[in-house]
Structure 1
Amino acid sequence: MKVKDLIEELQKLDPNMQVLAACEDEGVVVPGYFVRPFEVTEISAVSVEIDSDDKGRRTMCAVPAEDGQKFAVIEITSFF
């Protein structure tokens, strides 16, 4: 999703609502639950390198601007 698409979708909502992120992916969800909620803690632009581990899971690492691709990164936490 691009920043402009996220803004467009968020503009359809009440601007006073709190934002949560949710994930249903196996390996993220706590056993016995169907979804895991997260609270957004920060949004920033970061130069990163995207890769995959030996199990095909996506990974990212911050790198110098000239070595990576710039992404808007939304940091989340499960503690709120």
Structure 2
Amino acid sequence: MKVKELIEKLQKLDSNLEVYVTSEDPDVVVPGYLVRPFEINGVSAFNVVTSRDEMRRPEISAAAEGEGRECAIIEVTADF
């Protein structure tokens, strides 16, 4: 998803709503729960390199300026 697509979707909502990110991914969800909630605690831009590990799980790592590609990063926490 691009930043402008996220903005368009968010603009359709009440601007006073709190925002949470959720995941149903079994590698992320705590056993016994169907969904794991996260709270957004930061938004920034970084140069990154994306890849997959030997088990095909997505990975992201920081890259020096001019290397990789610039991406918007939404930082989340499960402790809120």
Does TM-score exceed 0.5, indicating one fold?
yes
Q: Distance in 1 between matches of 2:6 and 2:36?
A: 21
Structure 2 portions without partners, runs of 5+: none
Comparing 7-16 with 60-69, greater Cα deviation is found at 60-69
Partner residue of 1:78?
A: 78
Partner residue of 1:67?
A: 67
Q: Distance in 2 between matches of 1:34 and 1:54?
A: 27
Structure 1 portions without partners, runs of 5+: none
Tell me the secondary structure at the aligned position of residue 66 of structure 2. Answer: helix
Q: Where do 1:9-48 residues align within 5 Å?
A: 9-48=9-48
Cα offset for 1:32? 1.0
TM-score (ref. length: structure 1): 0.97
Cα offset for 1:54? 1.0
Overall identity of the aligned pairs, in %: 49
Amino acid at match of 2:20: L
Spell out structure 1 runs of 4+ moving beyond 2 A: none
TM-score (ref. length: structure 2): 0.97
Cα offset for 1:66? 1.4
Tell me the secondary structure at the aligned position of residue 38 of structure 1. Answer: strand
